[in-house]
């Protein structure tokens, strides 16, 4: 297998194949950076177009876009508090406060370095460990996946914000939105009101653009100012000067492992990886109180994890045909177009293309620092200097394009506007938005797997606790929920003892 890996390398450097990666990374950063446009949308628009391309050109474009977009999403997340892609939600937590303190430049540099490192770690996992990691995926049946979802939902506790009642309302809203569509088992309609467009449920990008992008646009238009967003003072310094000061090794390693792990599990995807990495980094931080107010390590934690699940999400996609993220699902279509059918045979039948694709992922991640670090970041920061009304109107157009292009229908645009109105009210009344996102991603997912597990157990809940993997996940969930209060008690106890 490793010989195949080396054999595939020269072809990756063929001009068209390498150029595809470069163009892909740049296009990905641009797509990610445009509020409203997402990697899922970009790749689904690209797939029909790739029928006429050589496999490695098409795959190189996709690998580049995926890597680039996962970082690009951080740019508006930091500068405008609009996550450019679903996975960049956690980047807003500390990135936006940093920008407000005039450290937006640093936040973007931390983001690009972390993204790149996460992408590199993930690419290595894909290249070297794909077969053994796909065995790990096999361990996760419906009951295990149910516990993974519960584990993710438990982390909502840390995202509730200042007012837990409002946080829980957000979470319930998110879970409720996730059940819209056809029932996961019987296929009967739930809350679709006869609309065929609602049968497949509400796409995460529609909700995200509505909730996160529309309220800031209204803000841009609401404030009667003719100036741009204050980004002239990003506080940028050359990246080689900033680099030695980034000492987030623990966070980077932890985030990479979390991202890779979430990636190989089917279904959950980039945003969950970023949330979990952010939570874990904060929990182990010595100064957890500074998080959420502009802690660069928070940006590092979120960005390393959302890139670390890119290539690893392709491990179950390539070996088992089950994509780990929404983007990987679209990419799977791109592979099939070129006659690359997922399965254990894939690596033997098309080694040059498959391993070449893996190399392209690695180079895409490396190129990210070069292209994202200097060129793209600075020019995008300039764009945000546009007068507010103009910036607002351009974002409105991008939102419409981004949402329309997912399925090619206006229905989704109207749905997005509805969520936008809800999002505006939530924003003004300080309801936290992250629980909505996590609830939407994990709510229906948990339900589906619980019901599958119960069917397998013929209604007996004992099936949920029957094996070690499930029990470990249950223990982890309990640790996440009661851990912080136990730790606090322990510390308080020690203090009084002294």
Partner 1 sequence: MTDRPKNRLLRPETLTALGIVAVAAGFLIPTSELPPISALLPAAMLIGLIALSVALLVMDQRKAAKGDAAAPMTQSPKRVLGAFGLILGYALATDFIGFYVSTAVTIPLVAFAFGYRNPLGLLIATVIVVGTIWAIFDFGMSQDFPTGRLWKD
Partner 2 sequence: MLNIFKKAAIAGALTLAAGAAMAQGYPEKPIEVIVGYSAGGGTDVMARTTMPFIEKYLGDGASIVVKNMPGASGQIGITEVAGSDPDGYTLGTFNLPGMMARTLDREAGYDRDSFTYLANVVNDPNVIVSAKGSGIESMDDLVAAAKEAPFAVTVGMSSLGGDDHFLLIKLQKMTETDFTIVPFKGSAPARTAVMGGHVAVGIFNVSEIAKFQGELNVLGVAQPERSDFAPEVPTFAEQGFDLVNGSMRGVVAPAGLPEDVAAKLRDAFEKAAQDPEFLEAMAATANPVSVVTGDEFRALTDGLYDLAEETWNTTPWN
Q: Which residues bind partner 1 (CB under 8 A)?
A: 45-46, 48-49, 165-166, 168-169, 172-173, 175-176, 179, 183, 185-186, 188, 190-191, 214, 217-218, 221-222, 224-226, 386-390, 392-394, 396-397, 400-401, 404-405, 408, 410, 413-414, 417, 420-421, 424-425, 428-429, 443-444, 447, 451
- Cα 55 to Cα 8: distance, rounded to the nearest angstrom: 13
Residues 313-332 that bind partner 2 (CB under 8 A): 316, 320-322, 330, 332
396 contact choice in partner 1, partner 2, none (CB below 5 to 8 Å, kind-dependent): partner 1
For the beta carbon of residue 225, count every other beta carbon within 10 angstroms: 11
Question: Closest distance between partner 1 and the C-beta of residue 15, in Å?
Answer: 20
Q: Of 30 and 262, which CB lies nearer to partner 1 in the complex structure?
A: 30
Residue 333 in the binding site for partner 2 (CB under 8 A): yes
For the beta carbon of residue 238, count every other beta carbon within 10 angstroms: 10
What burial letters (b/e) apply to 321-356, b meaning 16+ CB within 10 Å? ebbbbbbbbbbbebbebbebebeeebbeebbbbbbb
The candidate with the shortest Cα–Cα distance to 145, out of 462, 349, 448, is 448
Q: Of 211 and 274, which CB lies nearer to partner 1 in the complex structure?
A: 211
54 contact choice in partner 2, partner 1, none (CB below 5 to 8 Å, kind-dependent): none
> Which residue from 132, 187, 224, 244 is in contact with partner 2, where contact means CB under 8 A?
187
Residues 385-424 that bind partner 2 (CB under 8 A): 407-409
Question: Closest distance between partner 1 and the C-beta of residue 282, in Å?
Answer: 25
173 contact choice in partner 1, partner 2, none (CB below 5 to 8 Å, kind-dependent): partner 1
Q: Of 69 and 299, which CB lies nearer to partner 1 in the complex structure?
A: 69
The torsion angle over the Cα atoms of residues 289, 292, 298 and 303, rounded to 10 degrees, is 160
Residue 216 in the binding site for partner 2 (CB under 8 A): no
- Cα 477 to Cα 150: distance, rounded to the nearest angstrom: 7
- Cα 422 to Cα 173: distance, rounded to the nearest angstrom: 11
- Cα 105 to Cα 454: distance, rounded to the nearest angstrom: 50
- Cα 336 to Cα 306: distance, rounded to the nearest angstrom: 25
Question: Closest distance between partner 2 and the C-beta of residue 346, in Å?
Answer: 7
Question: Closest distance between partner 2 and the C-beta of residue 417, in Å?
Answer: 19
Rounded to the nearest 5°, which phi and psi values hold at 384? -70, -5
Residues 35-94 that bind partner 2 (CB under 8 A): 44, 47-48, 51
102 alpha-carbon distance from chain centroid? 26
Residue 345 in the binding site for partner 2 (CB under 8 A): yes
Rounded to the nearest 5°, which phi and psi values hold at 181? 120, -165
Question: Closest distance between partner 1 and the C-beta of residue 24, in Å?
Answer: 14
- Cα 497 to Cα 177: distance, rounded to the nearest angstrom: 49
Q: Of 107 and 433, which CB lies nearer to partner 1 in the complex structure?
A: 433
Q: Of 338 and 451, which CB lies nearer to partner 1 in the complex structure?
A: 451
- Cα 325 to Cα 332: distance, rounded to the nearest angstrom: 11
417 contact choice in partner 1, partner 2, none (CB below 5 to 8 Å, kind-dependent): partner 1
DSSP string, 361-400: HHHHHHHHHHIIIIIIHHHHHHHTTS-HHHHHHHHHHHHH
Positions touching partner 2 (CB under 8 A) are: 44, 47-48, 51, 137-143, 183-189, 194, 196-197, 199-200, 266, 316, 320-322, 330, 332-334, 336-337, 339, 341-346, 407-409, 448, 452, 455-456, 458
């Amino acid at each position: 297998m490793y010989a195949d890996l080396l054999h595939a390398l020269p072809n990756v450097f063929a001009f068209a194949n390498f150029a595809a990666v470069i163009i892909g990374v740049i296009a990905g950063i641009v797509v990610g950076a445009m509020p409203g446009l997402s990697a899922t949308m970009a790749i689904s628009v690209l797939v029909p177009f790739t029928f006429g391309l050589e496999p490695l050109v098409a795959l190189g474009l996709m690998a580049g876009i995926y890597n680039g977009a996962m970082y690009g999403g951080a740019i508006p997340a930091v500068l405008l508090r609009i996550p450019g892609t679903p996975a960049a939600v956690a980047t807003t937590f500390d990135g936006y406060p940093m920008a407000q303190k005039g450290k937006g430049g640093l936040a973007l540099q931390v983001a690009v370095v972390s993204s790149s490192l996460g992408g590199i770690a993930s690419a290595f996992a894909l290249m070297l460990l794909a077969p053994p990691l796909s065995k790990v995926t096999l361990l996760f049946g419906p009951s295990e996946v149910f516990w993974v979802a519960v584990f993710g939902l438990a982390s909502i506790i840390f995202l509730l914000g200042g007012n837990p009642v409002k946080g829980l309302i957000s979470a319930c809203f998110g879970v409720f939105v996730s059940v819209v569509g056809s029932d996961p088992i019987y296929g009967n309609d739930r809350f679709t009101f006869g609309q065929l467009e609602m049968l497949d449920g509400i796409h995460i990008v529609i909700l995200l653009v509505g909730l996160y992008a529309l309220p800031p646009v209204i803000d841009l238009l609401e404030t009667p100012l003719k100036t741009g967003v204050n980004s002239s003072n990003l506080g940028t310094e050359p990246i080689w000067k900033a680099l030695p000061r980034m000492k987030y090794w623990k966070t980077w390693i932890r985030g990479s492992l979390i991202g890779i792990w979430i990636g190989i599990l089917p279904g959950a995807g980039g945003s969950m990886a970023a949330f979990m990495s952010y939570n874990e980094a904060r929990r182990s931080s010595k100064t957890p109180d500074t998080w959420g107010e502009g802690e660069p390590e928070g940006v590092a934690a979120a960005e390393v994890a959302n890139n670390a699940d890119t290539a690893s999400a392709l491990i179950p996609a390539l070996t088992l045909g089950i994509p780990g993220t929404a983007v990987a699902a679209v990419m799977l279509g791109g592979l099939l177009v070129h006659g690359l059918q997922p399965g254990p045979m894939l690596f033997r039948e098309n080694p040059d293309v498959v391993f070449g694709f893996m190399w392209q992922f690695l180079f895409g991640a490396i190129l990210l620092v070069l292209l994202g670090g200097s060129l793209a970041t600075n020019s995008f920061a300039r764009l945000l200097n546009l007068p507010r009304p103009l910036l607002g109107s351009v974002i409105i157009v991008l939102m419409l394009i981004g949402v329309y292009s997912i399925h090619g229908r206006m229905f989704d645009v109207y749905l997005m506007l509805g969520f936008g109105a809800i999002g505006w009210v939530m924003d003004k009344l300080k309801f936290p938005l992250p629980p909505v996102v996590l609830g939407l991603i994990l709510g229906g997912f948990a339900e589906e797997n619980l019901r599958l597990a119960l069917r397998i157990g013929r209604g007996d809940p004992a099936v949920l606790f029957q094996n070690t993997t499930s029990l470990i996940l249950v223990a982890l969930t309990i640790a996440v929920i009661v851990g912080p209060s136990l730790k606090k008690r322990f510390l308080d106890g020690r203090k009084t003892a002294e």
